[in-house]
Amino acid sequence: MNGENLNHDKWNQSPEFTAYALNELDESRAQEFLKELRDKGISEEEIRDEVASLQLLKATLQAEFSKDHLLRVSPEMREKILSPKSTKGEQWKKWLLGFSVSTSVAVIALVVFVNDNIIDNSPSISSINDVHRGEKNILLEKKKIIRPERKQELVENSAQLSGQVMNTTESVVATRMAKMKSAQISDFAPAAGAIKGKMIPSPQVTSRIQEEEFNREGYDKIDSNPYTLVSNEPLSTFSVDVDTASYANMRRFLLKGQKPPKNALRIEEMINYFPYSYEGDFSKHPVAIQVDQVQSIWNQDRKIVRVAMKSETSSELAQASKNLVFLMDVSGSMHSPKKLPLLKESMQLLLRKLKKTDTISLVVYAGAAGVILEPTEVREKVKILKALDQLRAGGSTNGGAGIIAAYKMAKMGFIKNGVNRVILATDGDFNVGTSSRGALLDLIEEKAKDDIFLTVVGLGMGNYQDAMLEEISNRGNGNYAYIDSLREANKLFNIDLEKNLTTVAKDVKVQVEFNPNLVKAYRLIGYENRMLAAKDFNDDKKDAGEMGSGHTVTALYEIVPVGGKIEDIAPVIDDLKYSKQTKGKGSRHDFDDELLTVKVRYKSPTGSKSTKFEVPLKNKTQKIEKADRNFKLATAAASLGLKLRDDELTKNYSYDEILKLAKEAKGSDPYEFEAELIEMIELAKTIDRND
Amino acid sequence: MSDQMEKQSWFHTTVVDNESSLLNYTFKILSQMATSEEVVQESFLKLWKQEFPGHFEHYPKAWLYRVCRNLAIDILRKDKRIRFEDNLEEVLSCPCVSESLLQASQIMAEINKLSKAEKEVLVLKFNDDLSYKEIAEVTGLSVSLVGVRIHKGLEKIRKIVEDELNNLELNPKKKETNV
């Protein structure tokens, strides 16, 4: 272990050098050691190369080991662990509920620790020599204040910085070197954050860390749709949305024991996360619709109207050949086990589900984009798996170049009448390359015109860019899901594979016309960023959402019937003096028993002209108890989201009531989605102090 | 928060953070799912019984590993009849494990050739991401011995890993940039 004894040939073959390269030396010893090497006439470059090569070795071994790091703790076992014999209190039981929830926890455990050693790039943290010098506590002290999430953040910051410092070097080796370098420059990773101009808390301020962590994730503000007076605007128009990301993201927060940020909760995605057993007649249209109503559970004297849509289950499409291009973010920020490794596992799930003749391509993007695998048939599974195994995270993100390469592959393997899809998997931090968000989105929109659809898979946490990903999927004829666990990957790539990879109807728009004689005001729950102008409904150039095979989409309105009170809603404009405020055919008396009419427009997957059909809803009243299971489930999911958003609607509706509703809604639930919702509600109840 | 509440919340975070790494770790020693689960449970029970706030609540990981390791070794000592056949089915029933077993790599094969002592520290370092110091805590070795073993272990597998890496298409020199 003594540097002085080394001759020049063997300078890199001492245990201490290994420790140095693995960042196991404390800062002062590391500097000393470096100096010793230099004094021996070894250039900085030589040292850096050697360190990088050991770092690469380390990353390879980690990847190798991570392959069989797959045992999961069963819910029963967790239950046992969490109820040590000495505690039997009720409060404790409540805690438990949150943790019996899903296998995702298994993956969480991986996240926490695999990052330690990257963080240790900051040479200040761990050490061999500390021990000898009786400074044992330094390690513990540091660990104490740097929590796992924080580490994650540090890792990502230093990774990002390295990208800038090194001016986007491409290779894994170079990136690893860059990481080292940035650690040395900044001495301590938070400084790296500061250079980047982001709000990074000093590690001492532990209480603020969770809050800051939110700040690092990008969410667009969601302003709930306001109540609208029918006399002002009798038409409500929106695009369908089959995304589910928001629910999975909410689950991640609740499992951490945190209330999700309001802007992370898109109510429509929470509703549409669940599979509903709607029935429909698909003889005329590939989309069926059902409209019904119950008395509002949230407010007296109001109603909830449900617009339930289902697309045709197309066995033809399910059989169709698939040409899938995976565009995978392998930038430094994807290093965490919950990102790239989880993605790899997810893809193994997917491979099992595909036909032998389907093709897979892999494109990665980090500092520069690269095609790892050109379209390859699934029968060559070993080749695909091998290519997957070789992926390593490192470098900063150049989303734009990757997108171009991916669409190029999709075109190369294009299957006529088949499924052609780019699957973009990322944590969404496009920070290098195609510069602005706008330019990137334009690029995707342009590429989406070739009948190549897009699925966006969000991963990870800490610097998760939700808003960005959602927008990309909207613009690229896509859907958007969030994977936080293998279980969720299983839903996306196994249970719901056909739904997610196929498209049976394109640009599906919904317009609801309310009858002003019966409805005073309405509010659409969710769909805030899916709203369209009334005139967009008939405009075939206006893009809207896609529905895959057997997808269900549910929209809920709360409406105030004529004569109902709405003083708690946004200020009403004065009555018009000269105009009759009723307009359109709604005022005609032949339709007086109709509450509203729902109009749907869709295009065939490759069509450019839309088809329209409509369904009216007769006015009658029933209680939610009488409604079908699906209605209750949708309402319960929406209620949970609204409640967590502290929405006005659910001000007087308690978690207990939501829970009761969800329990009534529970059916055979083969995949335990509904059971999970119940647990989520119970968890939210313990976390949300506003109830 | 009362002390009790604080302890519960700390305990549960610790469980969530560590349970599956510990299970995987213990399973590697015992190759028996049910027994490994018992060991992990037992280790958490021991943790719960510790005084709180105590000296390790900020950093229970190495402690837990050590407890699991000791318990597992005890079991191995008591029961030498553990047969692999019994577990094979269990292992294979987990699809991902079977997947990785079936395509066990060169690198893994090379690691398996190392001495038990080297293998253990490498696993703790690269699979469980423990620092040298933590590994020392878990195994009862000195930090410098941990360093030496890791160094030697790495030296032995380095060549094979680098050969594998040279075949990589991700290798920057071979990489296409289709832009």
Instruction: List the domain boundaries for chain B.
Output: 1-103, 104-172
**Which CATH number fits the domain B104-172, given the four candidates 3.30.70.580, 1.10.10.10, 3.40.50.2300, 2.30.110.10?**
1.10.10.10
A306 and A322 housed in the same domain: no
| Test mutation, B19, B43, B48, B160, chain A, max A CBs within 10 A | B19
Statement: residue A158 has pLDDT above 50: no
What CATH number has the domain bearing residue A520? 2.60.40.1230
Minimum distance, in Å, between the CA of residue B37 and any CA atom of chain A? 7
Closest CB to B107: pick one of A14, A60, A84: A60
- C-alpha separations of A80 from A75, A93, A195, A681 in Å: 9, 11, 47, 22
The pLDDT, as a whole number, for residue A96 is 43
Statement: residue A491 has pLDDT above 50: yes
Question: Distance between CA A350 and CA B96 in Å, rounded?
Answer: 12
Taking only the tens place, the pLDDT of each residue in A437-469 is: 677 788 788 887 788 888 888 887 655 677 778
- Give mean pLDDT, residues A188-195: 32
> How many CB atoms neighbour CB B164 within 10 A?
17
Interchain proximity A345–B96, CB inside 8 Å: yes
- Give mean pLDDT, residues A656-685: 89
Question: Distance between CA A430 and CA A331 in Å, rounded?
Answer: 10
- Give mean pLDDT, residues A601-624: 90
The pLDDT, as a whole number, for residue A219 is 80
A26 and A43 housed in the same domain: yes
Look at A128 and A429; give whichever has higher pLDDT. Answer: A429
Provide the token pair at A319.
């059989």
The pLDDT, as a whole number, for residue A644 is 94
Nearest residue in B to A79, CA atom: B41
Nearest-5° Cα angle at A77, A71 to A78: 90
Q: Which long-range contacts (CB under 8 A, 24 or more apart) does A417-420 make?
A: A417/A320, A418/A320, A418/A321, A418/A322, A418/A323, A419/A317, A419/A320, A419/A321, A419/A322, A419/A323, A419/A324, A419/A453, A419/A501, A419/A502, A420/A323, A420/A451, A420/A452, A420/A453
- Give mean pLDDT, residues A636-651: 93
The pLDDT, as a whole number, for residue A404 is 80
The one-letter code for the residue type at A608 is S
- C-alpha separations of A419 from A310, A315, A376, A560, B150 in Å: 20, 13, 15, 44, 49
The pLDDT, as a whole number, for residue A598 is 96
User: Is beta strand A478-483 parallel, antiparallel or unpaired with respect to A453-459?
Assistant: parallel
Contact call for residues A429 and A470 (beta carbons, < 8 A): no
> How many CB atoms neighbour CB B167 within 10 A?
10
User: Does A15 touch chain B if contact means CB atoms closer than 8 Å?
Assistant: yes
A332 and A471 housed in the same domain: yes
The pLDDT, as a whole number, for residue A394 is 60
Statement: residue A611 has pLDDT above 70: yes
A606 and A625 housed in the same domain: yes
> Which DSSP letter does residue A5 get?
G
Does residue A95 belong to any structural domain of this protein? Answer: no
A154 and A202 housed in the same domain: yes
Taking only the tens place, the pLDDT of each residue in A16-61 is: 889 988 888 888 888 888 888 888 888 888 888 888 888 888 887 8
Look at B6 and A528; give whichever has higher pLDDT. Answer: A528
A420 and A513 housed in the same domain: no
Statement: residue A196 has pLDDT above 50: no
Residue A163 confidence class, pLDDT cut points 50, 70, 90: very low
Look at A209 and B159; give whichever has higher pLDDT. Answer: B159
Instruction: Map residue B40 onto helix, strand or coil.
Output: helix
Out of A5-9, A416-420, A517-521, which region has the weakest mean confidence (pLDDT)? A5-9
Q: Which of A475, A495, A515 is the last residue of a domain?
A: A495
Minimum distance, in Å, between the CA of residue A30 and any CA atom of chain B? 15
Q: What are phi and psi of A14, to 5 degrees?
A: -105, 155
User: Is beta strand A453-459 parallel, antiparallel or unpaired with respect to A419-426?
Assistant: parallel
C-alpha closest to that of A388 among A436, A423, A340, A323 = A340
Contact call for residues A599 and A287 (beta carbons, < 8 A): no
User: Does B163 touch chain A if contact means CB atoms closer than 8 Å?
Assistant: no
Interchain proximity B177–A19, CB inside 8 Å: no
Average pLDDT of adjacent 10-residue blocks, chain B of 179 residues = 76 83 79 79 86 67 85 72 40 34 60 79 85 85 88 87 64 42
Closest CB to A404: pick one of B133, B155, B179: B179
- The total number of structural domains in chain A stands at 3
Mean per-residue pLDDT of chain A = 74
Contact call for residues A327 and A422 (beta carbons, < 8 A): yes
Statement: residue A141 has pLDDT above 50: no
The pLDDT, as a whole number, for residue A670 is 80
Residue A628 confidence class, pLDDT cut points 50, 70, 90: very high
Which chain A residues contact residue B9 at CB under 8 A? Answer: 95, 257
Minimum distance, in Å, between the CA of residue B173 and any CA atom of chain A? 9
Residue A606 confidence class, pLDDT cut points 50, 70, 90: confident
Question: Distance between CA A15 and CA B147 in Å, rounded?
Answer: 6
Closest CB to B45: pick one of A84, A368, A382: A84
Question: Distance between CA A68 and CA A161 in Å, rounded?
Answer: 32
The pLDDT, as a whole number, for residue A435 is 52
Beta bridge partners of A377: A359
A302 and A433 housed in the same domain: no
- Give mean pLDDT, residues A467-483: 83
Q: Omega of the bond prior to A616 within 30 degrees of 0, cis?
A: no
Question: Distance between CA B19 and CA B45 in Å, rounded?
Answer: 12
Residue A369 confidence class, pLDDT cut points 50, 70, 90: low
User: Does A130 touch chain B if contact means CB atoms closer than 8 Å?
Assistant: yes
Contact call for residues A462 and A153 (beta carbons, < 8 A): yes
Burial of A85 (0-12, 13-18, 19+ CB in 10 A): exposed
% of chain A beyond a pLDDT of 90: 23
Does residue A94 belong to any structural domain of this protein? Answer: no
Statement: residue A302 has pLDDT above 90: yes
Nearest residue in B to A72, CA atom: B20
The pLDDT, as a whole number, for residue A304 is 95
The pLDDT, as a whole number, for residue A560 is 93
Statement: residue A673 has pLDDT above 60: yes
Look at B19 and A267; give whichever has higher pLDDT. Answer: A267
- Give mean pLDDT, residues A361-372: 72
Burial of A19 (0-12, 13-18, 19+ CB in 10 A): buried
Question: Distance between CA A29 and CA A133 in Å, rounded?
Answer: 11
- C-alpha separations of A334 from A108, A395, A458, B176 in Å: 15, 9, 11, 21
Which chain A residues contact residue B95 at CB under 8 A? Answer: 352
- Give mean pLDDT, residues A229-242: 91
Q: Which of A495, A518, A553 is the last residue of a domain?
A: A495
The pLDDT, as a whole number, for residue A69 is 53
Interchain proximity B132–A126, CB inside 8 Å: yes
Interchain proximity B17–A108, CB inside 8 Å: yes
Architecture per CATH, B1-103: Orthogonal Bundle (1.10)
Q: Using CA of residue B138, residue B144, residue B148, residue B151, what is the dihedral sign? A: positive
Does residue A668 belong to any structural domain of this protein? Answer: yes
Statement: residue A596 has pLDDT above 90: yes
Interchain proximity A70–B94, CB inside 8 Å: yes
Q: End-to-end alpha-carbon separation of chain A, Å?
A: 60
Minimum distance, in Å, between the CA of residue A672 and any CA atom of chain B? 20
> Which DSSP letter does residue A481 get?
E
Minimum distance, in Å, between the CA of residue A271 and any CA atom of chain B? 28
A436 and A537 housed in the same domain: no
A202 and A55 housed in the same domain: yes
CA A37 to chain centre: 46
| ipTM passes above 0.90 | no
A22 and A160 housed in the same domain: yes
Instruction: Map residue A107 onto helix, strand or coil.
Output: helix
Question: Distance between CA B119 and CA A119 in Å, rounded?
Answer: 24
- C-alpha separations of A123 from A26, A28, A194, A241, B76 in Å: 5, 8, 18, 47, 39
A583 and A476 housed in the same domain: no
The pLDDT, as a whole number, for residue B1 is 55
Does residue A92 belong to any structural domain of this protein? Answer: no
Closest CB to A128: pick one of B49, B147, B158: B147
What CATH number has the domain bearing residue A405? 3.40.50.410
The pLDDT, as a whole number, for residue B97 is 36
Nearest-5° Cα angle at B63, B62 to B66: 85
Statement: residue A612 has pLDDT above 70: yes
Residue A300 confidence class, pLDDT cut points 50, 70, 90: confident
Taking only the tens place, the pLDDT of each residue in A372-418 is: 788 888 888 878 887 887 777 665 545 667 788 888 888 888 988 88
Contact call for residues A7 and A37 (beta carbons, < 8 A): no
Structural domain for A190, as ranges: 3-72+103-216
Look at A439 and A2; give whichever has higher pLDDT. Answer: A439
A172 and A158 housed in the same domain: yes
